[in-house]
Amino acid sequence: MISQTEENYLKALFALTSTKGEASVNELSKMLDIKMPTVNGMMKRLSEKDFVIYESYKPLKLTEKGRKEASLIIRKHRLTEMYLVEKMGFGWEEVHDIAEQIEHIQSPAFFAKMDEILGFPEVDPHGSPIPDENGKVIVKDFDRLSDCESGDVVKFMAVKPSSEELLKFLNSRELVLGAVITIQSVELFDKSMSVNYAHREMEVLSNMVCEKLLVEHVAK
C-alpha cells in the first residue's frame, strides 16, 4: 500500500515539520537530495492518499494519518538502532544506515520481538525517544550544552541527529550518554567549553560540538 520511497518522504517531512508544523518543497528537496519537481509530484500523490496537506504555493503539512505513519516508521528505525547496539554489538555510529533500510521491513512480529527482547526501551542509542505502537512520542525538551554556563552541572541525555563523525569524536573522548558534565569555563571568543566528566578533566569541546549535545540540569 505504501512504498519504501513514500515512507522515506513521510519520514523526512515529519522531521522538517516537527518544529514549525510546516515545511517547504524546497527544504524537503534538499533534505532528500531529490529535485523539486519530483518532490512536488510526490506531495500531490501523498495528499491524494491523505498523508499530506498539499495546496499550491502553500507550505506542506502532514495530516494526522501522515504523522502517525511517519512515527511508526521512526519507531521501527529507533528500535532497530537500539537492537543493533544492545544485542548485536554495533557502535552507535554504525547503526543509522542499517536502520534506514530495516525500518521498511513489513513484519509487526519482527519489531514486536525486538521491542520485547530489548525490554521496551524508551530511547534509541542516541537518546532520541522511540514512539509507541500508536505513534505517540514523548518529546522531552532538553537544553543544548552550548546554552549552558560556566559552573553548570548537567547530564548528557541525547545527541542531535548529526554526522557519524561527531559520534566517532564523542567515542574518542569517552563521552557517553548519561555522563554527568561539569562546565569549568566557557571561552568568550569561540564559545568553546572546558568540561569535566567521568575521569576526564578539562576536556575542550568546540561550540559546534556543544550545539549537538542535549543535556538536562542536574544540580546547581
Partner DNA sequence: CAATATTGTTAGATTGTACTAATAATTTGT
Partner DNA sequence: ACAAATTATTAGTACAATCTAACAATATTG
- Residues of this chain that bind Mn ion (CB under 5 A): 8, 96, 100
Residue 150 near DNA by CB under 7 A: no
Residue 26 near DNA by CB under 7 A: yes
Q: Which CB, 35 or 199, lies closer to DNA? A: 35
Reduced 3-state DSSP string for 109-144:
HHHHHHHHHHCCCCECCCCCECCCCCCCCCCCCCEE
Residue 5 near its own copies by CB under 8 A: no
- Among 58, 87, 200, 217, interactor with its own copies by CB under 8 A: 87
Residue 38 near DNA by CB under 7 A: yes
Q: Which CB, 1 or 188, lies closer to its own copies? A: 1
Residue 88 near its own copies by CB under 8 A: yes
Region binding its own copies by CB under 8 A among candidate stretches 29-37, 105-113, 146-154, 188-196: 105-113
CA distance 34 to 107: 28
Residue 168 near its own copies by CB under 8 A: no
Residues making contact with its own copies (CB under 8 A): 84, 87-90, 94, 97-98, 101-102, 105-107, 109-110, 113-114, 117
